[in-house]
Structure 1
Amino acid sequence: MTMARPRKIDALLAARDVLTDEGFRLFFPLAALHAAAWPLLWVVAFGFSLPLAHAIPPGLWHVHEMIIGTFGAALIGFITTAVPEWTDTERLRGRILLVLAGLWGTARLIGLLGFEALGVVGAVADLLWLGVLVLYIAKISLEKRTTRLKSFLFWVTCLLIAEAVTRYAFLDIEARMALATQATHLAGFIFIGILGIALARVTVPVTNLVLDPTEQTSPFRPHPGRVNLAPGLVAVLVIADAAGLSAPTTGYLLIAAGAAFMDRVAEAFIGRESARSEILALAGASAFAGLGLMLVGASRLGLPISELPGLHMALMGGLGLGVLAVFSIAGLRHTGQALVFVRRTRIAMLLLVAAMALRVGPEIWPTEVMPAPPYTLVALLWGAAFLLWLRVYWPFIRDQATFQHDGS
């Protein structure tokens, strides 16, 4: 008995060292667990309500927690992993990652129940980790005298502002309901912008690796006009929407931004390798983001459906599939594995697409068989997608033999 406790402590310390060695090891699993648990609890356990929410509508909490919660953890993991790789700088590890996780987790525990009495605590926690990301990107940019990170600095700063406005509106939701709704939707559009620049950075090396696994050549060269077109048009959309321009104006901008994402899909046509799941996942993220934005734009221009199916297609399908693709690619490359999605990874992505289709389809085209989305089944499929991904990648992520691998 005297030896059991030290061994357990040593095991926990060893696990901590591995998980805090690089951002993706800690935050990608946290994002996956949150993505799986929160919708299922909200739909099944709480019945579309929240135990401690009174003034703030549970639906608004849901949007906020999925965007800032699930996708927020994915953002922390992505930034703290990719920025050091792109700039050849020392990566954040150890205590600072635990602090970020603590801030993110504090806000998520409050959001889990809609605990409005501690809303200010949750707001401070979310604004702090977002502020740390902004300062981190700015610091590296200044130290390295590089402009490579300016787009991420812009978008993460925009997300910080949107979250600050959202939390301000939450303080007096009855008087600021419209502002809270607008700010949460803007946060979703901002994440679509981040998706655009992330795909531009990730697609090139992945496509080249698929075309030439030896990495001796770089046969794929993206069209220069496609690199920043989609996120650039999303930036125009965000500015116009924040300025309160008319629904038709923002509707046309939504369609333009969506079309730019659809244009990015053309990059997937690289010959027979186009059928590779590593390529299809990235192309599918662009396609769903583009279709969703265009559907929201069409709704604002008079199409007789609400904006919700378009928003879910863009966020669940586009951003969700993009996040799962980045999780999978980084999880392989940064643990020394070959860039090949195994069958269970492909199944996870199909589950996510199925969840999105079941959530969106009945609202676009209701039928007698399915007049409304089967919310429980949607939550189960969505959660299964992320849990299956975690089941496949957890052995790599926690393995001490891989935590010194630099991902190069």
Structure 2
Amino acid sequence: MASDRPRTYTGPALLSYGFRPFFLLSALFAAGAVPVWLAVWSGRIGLAGPFSPIDWHIHEMLFGYTSAVIAGFLFTAIPNWTGRMPRRGLPLAALAALWIAGRFAVAGAFGTDPLLVLVIDAGFLLAVTLMAVIEIAAGKNWKNLMVVGPVGLYLAANVLFHLEAMQQGESDIGRPLGFATVTFLIMLIGGRIIPSFTRNWLAKGGPGPLPVPFGRFDGASLLVAVGALLCWTLAPDAILTAALLALAAALHVVRLVRWRGHLVWRSPLLLMLHVAYGFLPLGLAATAAAAVGWASAPAGLHLLGIGAIGGMTLAVMMRASLGHTGRPLEAGRALSAGFACIVAAAAARTVLAATDIGGIDGYSLAAAFWTMGFAIYVGRIGPCLLRPSLGRTPSKG
């Protein structure tokens, strides 16, 4: 399906495709926001925004960093889904400026009026949702509206986060609802791209075991996960919540095994996707344990937040950035080390949080690993995002 927009683009390479500005902005923000959080947490600096310090940290990782990655993914995937030309140039620049304004607003740069902060911050996700719906509808690609639905729920969770902070000083429902929505998006999108990329790569080596196609088991795994995450959002300490989370964790372990990840160890970019998805059942299991008092709640949240969300988004950004700029789909030592830093950050925050290693506590160690992981991405991939593509057709293997 052809678009009525002109096919030639002569503007900056950074604004030629959705992944370019948003992947770069999200990585820069991820690398910078966590050191700022450490300074806020230790009392060295203060923020004038409407949120408490811990809610600022959670909000900006969950709705700041992650929303930019989602925008980059959507505005790169939708042209492939619909056959229409991608959003580029001024619309992308305006959307990126709105996201940046949201980060300043939440930090208190535009004053402390909570309604103004809400409008600016939520305006970005509202614009992303509307633009995605318009593009999918114009391309009559109705089946992919199922991806936009959770994005709308993600927007609602962000709005609820703001409203709860206004009324009671902190968020009780918006926070877990945001986590739950992003977790489900990883399950949904990961369940499409991980077995597909794995199948393509394994098929090149000739006959052998391939990932099991999406079937009833996958559908049941997603339904159980939805029920578990909904219960966790509304009743995090209930026995039913713990049971459903544990069941969801077990089902997604089986789902991951069915994708044959143990066969892709020679392809680091593929292996990263499998490892990142593996943090989902780990996080669900830890959250189930927390529901019955066997573990601390932050352990599950950080396995999901750092390992699953951080790991999966970084792995997807690496692969998409290389492929869509015409570079070979090869991680090399630098990007492999960058992803390993995120895994180390998840482990340090979960296992070593209360320890002291050579005068460095687990929180600082996790923050250092997280920052290094995204700094490596910016250093290695950033120049590619700023320059024109090499003219190579992205591989799907």
The equivalent of 2:199 in structure 1 is 208
Kept after mapping to 2: 8 A contact 1:42/1:49: no
Q: Give the gaps of 5 or more residues in structure 2.
A: 1-8
Question: Is the contact between residue 196 and residue 230 of structure 1 (CA under 8 Å) also seen in structure 2?
Answer: no
Q: Residue 398 of structure 1: CA displacement?
A: 1.7
Give the CA RMSD over aligned residues.
Answer: 3.1
Change beyond 3 A, Cα 1:253–1:336? same
Counterpart residue number, 2:72: 77
Deviations 1:4-34 (A, max 9, x none): xxxxxxxxx97x6211111110000101011
**CA contact under 8 A between 1:362 and 1:370: conserved in structure 2?**
no
Contact 2:41/2:53 (8 A) holds in 1: no
TM-score (norm 2): 0.87
The match for 2:60 among 44, 56, 65 is 65
Matched, 1:125 2:127: no
Question: 1:99 & 1:307 partners in 2: Cα distance?
Answer: 38
**Structure 1 partner of 2:97:** 102
Deviation at 1:372, TM superposition (A): 9.6
Which string of whole-angstrom CA distances, capped at 9 and with x for unpartnered residues, describes residues 240-296 of structure 1? Answer: 345558622222222233223322321442664344322321111111111111111
Q: Mean alpha-carbon deviation: is it higher for 157-166 or for 219-228?
A: 219-228
Instruction: State how far apart, in whole Å, the 2-side matches of 1:386 and 1:110 are.
Output: 23
2:319 pairs with 1:324: no
2:382 corresponds in structure 1 to 394
Q: Which moved more, 1:121-130 or 1:142-151?
A: 142-151
Q: Aligned pair in 2 of structure 1 residues 117, 392: CA closer, same or farther (>3 Å)?
A: same
Distance 1:223 1:205, change over 3 A: closer
TM-score normalised to structure 1 length: 0.85
Aligned to 1:279: 270
Equivalent of 1:164 in 151, 159, 162: 159
Counterparts of 1:85 and 1:347 in 2: how far apart (Å)?
30
Do residues 86 (structure 1) and 86 (structure 2) align? no
Alignment of 1:4-403 (within 5 A): 17-44=12-39, 47=42, 51-53=46-48, 56-112=51-107, 117-174=112-169, 177=170, 180-213=171-204, 220-225=211-216, 227-244=218-235, 247-269=238-260, 272-303=263-294, 305-362=295-352, 373-402=361-390
Secondary structure of the structure 2 residue equivalent to 1:90: coil
Change (3 A) 1:228 1:73: farther
Distance 1:234 1:405, change over 3 A: same
Residues 304-351 of structure 1: CA deviation (Å, up to 9, x unaligned): x32111110111001111011101110121112222211111000111
Helix, strand or coil for the counterpart of 1:93? coil
Q: Aligned partners of 1:49, 1:182: CA distance in 2, in Å?
A: 30
Which residues of structure 1 form unaligned runs of 5+? 1-12
Task: Give the counterpart letter for 2:74 in structure 1.
Answer: I
Q: Give the count of matched residue pairs.
A: 388
User: Is the 8 Å Cα contact of residues 352 and 382 (structure 1) preserved in structure 2?
Assistant: yes
Q: Secondary structure at the match of 1:249?
A: helix
Of stretches 246-255 and 266-275 in structure 1, the one that deviates more from structure 2 is 266-275
Taking a change above 3 Å as real, the CA distance of residues 64 and 367 of structure 1, as seen in their structure-2 partners, is closer
